[in-house]
Chains A and B, each alone.
Chain A
């Protein structure tokens, strides 16, 4: 009887986990397998626009049915052979790296200042960093259009001060993309940085000072190494989604701001070439597997440390 109850207890627990588990399997893992499958098929004019991978061939004469599996690597060969894709990948990485560094340079002093502020002020100061995150991403990007465009706020300001006389347009350039992405991803950098810096025991710095270490050196030898987990988590949180970013380059970038997210979008929506779009996605995913796994490792360690 007791054994039965216990088994029911375990069974109930298993059922509880099963619901989100199955959901994620179906709507997160299986889709990747499908994307992978379609990336190996051929585009055709049909609904949906790709050739089935697996087909039953009926041989009328012999009266038999044969299973035919068509695997097509040409989509991947196209990715490797066409400069467009390679440039797009490289450019995405470049833009993501610049964004990450900008976020770090801007976010670290902010997180540090908030962590060093009086305890009662930290909450409101942090709130101010997160607040924009609660408003629409799209609208925040949109706000920069008005600032950066020709005859926009920056242009007007420059003309008014007499620095330029020609209309000056930052919009539709890589610079605009850097600004917009740094702007949008900044909270993702500040949040984990603040979390590690806040936990840092201030007496460590006092001990360093007491032992004759100058503040700047104490920062380099004590604070910086101890905040490394936050730096890594924040950088990955910014870098990984940045690589596949679509909205910002689409709205702020010029026509020549190639990013892989845009290429994927265009292959899918404009060219209706689903197999190539899938191949682009798989290639992007393969590229991101390592950083994603590092991120999960860091994330896991931090939750463990919370115990």
Chain B
């Protein structure tokens, strides 16, 4: 355990690296002074200003809508794709399919953004759809790159799921579609939920792809943040960042509490079963 001491230092250094910037960001969001890094006393005025910034609120609303829609679509598509990869064995074109699923995970965003924009332009020329660029095109673009993440999550969940559960259901007379909805889906539900949340977060976070495929009048929240950050730092962004982090941290905290409790309950049950059996 001697070397664990050094390792623990490495670990704490890593955590400090990850969290000190965030902590400072939150700290300065309560700064009275406009100069973000010079402390001018405690104040919440930037939060008040934030709530009156209509452009920002509009962009936030658009981003939330896009994120919710694209997360939902990518969960549907990604679950089906993950199911096909994990359960359908070898089918024609599987290699290409697998490649198209994993490539978006590492594809540089500028390439994804540019290629989708050019597709939309070409489609508009050819068939008149999509008519201009906006919420629809952003949603499609986000669905495309987030479904890869969902598919990978679902695939790895299914790979670790005992296939004989599905076989047992089929053996007892359930047709494949029914097996999926009654057995597979309920069991992988937690993976689907985390896939949705991940897709939602990725969509809410994206600035590059959205910049390519958005049109006039459809500016997402990250685009607004990006353009204002480019001109230097502003306390309002600190306040916004703080709010976003609080929401995310609270959500994750609650989720992990619930999960830890279920886990404990489960362990207790199992122990009782062993003693009682």
Contacts and interface: CB of A to CB of B under 8 A. Distances in A.
| Direct contact, A vs B (beta carbon within 8 Å) | yes
Interface of A: 9, 12-14, 16-17, 19-21, 23-32, 34-35, 38, 48, 106-107, 109-110, 112-114, 116, 123-125, 127-129, 131-132, 134-147, 149, 151-153, 156, 183, 186, 190, 215, 236-237, 240-241, 243-247, 250-251, 261, 264-265, 268-269, 274, 277-278, 281, 284-285, 288, 291-292, 295-296, 299-300, 303, 306-307
B230 A250 contact: yes
Nearest to B7: A113
Interface string B192-206: 000000000100110
Contacts of A109: 7, 10-11, 14
Interface in B235-271: 237-238, 240-241, 244-245, 248-249, 252, 256, 260
B118 A17 contact: no
B46 interface: no
Given A31-B119, A146-B28, 10 more contacts: A38-B118, A137-B205, A138-B229, A144-B21, A146-B24, A146-B233, A149-B233, A241-B109, A268-B114, A278-B118
28 contacts: A13-B176, A16-B83, A20-B151, A21-B97, A27-B144, A48-B121, A123-B260, A127-B256, A132-B19, A137-B205, A139-B240, A149-B37, A149-B233, A152-B37, A156-B37, A183-B17, A186-B18, A236-B106, A237-B106, A241-B106, A243-B108, A244-B110, A281-B111, A292-B103, A296-B99, A300-B102, A306-B160, A307-B159
B89 to A, nearest CB: 10
Interface string B1-31: 0011001101101110111011011001000
B116 interface: yes
Contact of B25 (A34, A146, A269): A146
A36 to B, nearest CB: 9
B36 to A, nearest CB: 5
A186 B16 CA distance: 13
Interface in B217-231: 222, 225-226, 229-230
B148 to A, nearest CB: 9
A129 B18 contact: yes
Contacts of B8: 113
B118 A142 contact: no
Contact of A134 (B107, B201, B222, B233): B201
Contact of B108 (A132, A143, A288): A288
B5 to A, nearest CB: 10
A142 B108 contact: no
Nearest to B200: A134
B56 interface: no
A144 B21 CA distance: 6
A199 to B, nearest CB: 12
A106 B111 contact: no
A284 B93 CA distance: 26
Contacts of A244: 107-111
A42 B245 CA distance: 46
Contacts of A129: 14-15, 18
Contacts of A241: 106-109
Contact of A278 (B13, B100, B114, B125): B114
Contacts of A295: 102, 105-106
Contact of B252 (A134, A156, A250): A134
Nearest to A285: B111
Interface in B96-137: 97-111, 114-116, 118-119, 121-122, 125
A114 B12 CA distance: 11
B103 A132 contact: no
A183 B3 contact: no
A30 B119 contact: yes
A131 B176 contact: no
Contacts of A132: 18-19, 22
- Residue from A128, A149, A299 with most neighbouring chain B CB atoms (10 Å): A299
Contacts of A143: 21-22, 24-25, 241
Nearest to B152: A299
Interface in B150-168: 151-152, 155-156, 159-160
5 smallest beta-carbon distances between A and B, as pairs: A244-B108, A109-B10, A31-B115, A143-B21, A240-B106
Nearest to A267: B114
B97 A35 contact: no
B120 to A, nearest CB: 9
Nearest to B119: A31
Contacts of B35: 151
Given A17-B84, A29-B100, A278-B118, A145 B17 contact: no
A247 B155 contact: no
A247 B207 CA distance: 8
Nearest to B155: A303
B211 to A, nearest CB: 8
A47 to B, nearest CB: 9
Contacts of B248: 131, 134-135
A12 B205 CA distance: 36
A240 B112 CA distance: 13
A221 B109 CA distance: 38
Interface in B27-56: 28, 35-38
Interface string B70-96: 000000011011011110100101000
